[in-house]
Amino acid sequence: MALWPDQAARDALDALASRLRGNHPASRHTPREQLHLTLAFIGALENQKASDVADMLRKIEAEPFDWRLDHCAGFERAHILWAGGPDEPRLIALAHRVRESLDELHVAYDRKPFSAHITLLRNVARAVVLQLDTPINWRVERPRLVISVRDATGKTHYVSWGDRSLQ
């Protein structure tokens, strides 16, 4: 379950990741089309259960709102550099509603506390907190069920369940 950034936020996040990669030459840049905010990680689902989850997400009422990303930091143990912002009550409430709905459907998910962040770089030896000179505005809209698929070369891509044929 994830949120995809609007085009302006995606462009700004991709540019930020490219700029930061200069300080971390051994890192891997998250491809721009893969930038997202995970609300709950659920792992593999059978097609019918995935359809049920996607239907549930369409029923979640949430007014669009703006989330301001104003800093970067890292997860030391995971060697990740990410972008984030101050706690946004509407974002936290949306993640909570998504997780409650998963509970109602009896869908297991990673129960780590919700941490609003967008992974920009992987394999970062040491990340420091960095305040952004120009904050990034992300227009938060409806959450989506996101799945990972492998292409012919074996590379993994994230796609929205609605963008995938159910055949």
Show the tokens assigned to 58. 């369409």
- Name the residue range of residue 66's domain: 2-163
pLDDT at 93 (0 to 100): 95
**Cα 153 to Cα 85: distance, rounded to the nearest angstrom:** 35
* Cα–Cα distance list, 91 to 31, 96, 116 (Å): 24, 9, 8
97: domain CATH number is 3.90.1140.10
Six-digit token string for 86: 């101050």
Cα–Cα distance, 109 to 23 (Å, whole number): 34
Q: What is the predicted pLDDT for the residue at 162? A: 59
The Cα–Cα gap between 62 and 134 comes to 27
- Report pTM: 0.86
pLDDT score at 46: 85
Confirm if 161 and 147 have CB atoms less than 8 A apart.
yes
How confident is the model at residue 166, as a pLDDT?
Answer: 37
Assess contact for 143 and 60: CB atoms under 8 A. yes
Tens-digit pLDDT string for the chain (167 aa): 899 999 999 999 999 999 999 999 999 999 998 999 999 998 888 888 888 998 888 888 888 999 999 999 999 899 999 999 999 999 999 999 999 999 999 999 999 999 999 999 999 988 889 999 999 999 999 898 877 777 788 777 676 665 444 33
In this structure, what token pair is assigned to residue 11?
A: 């462009």
What is the domain count for the chain? Answer: 1
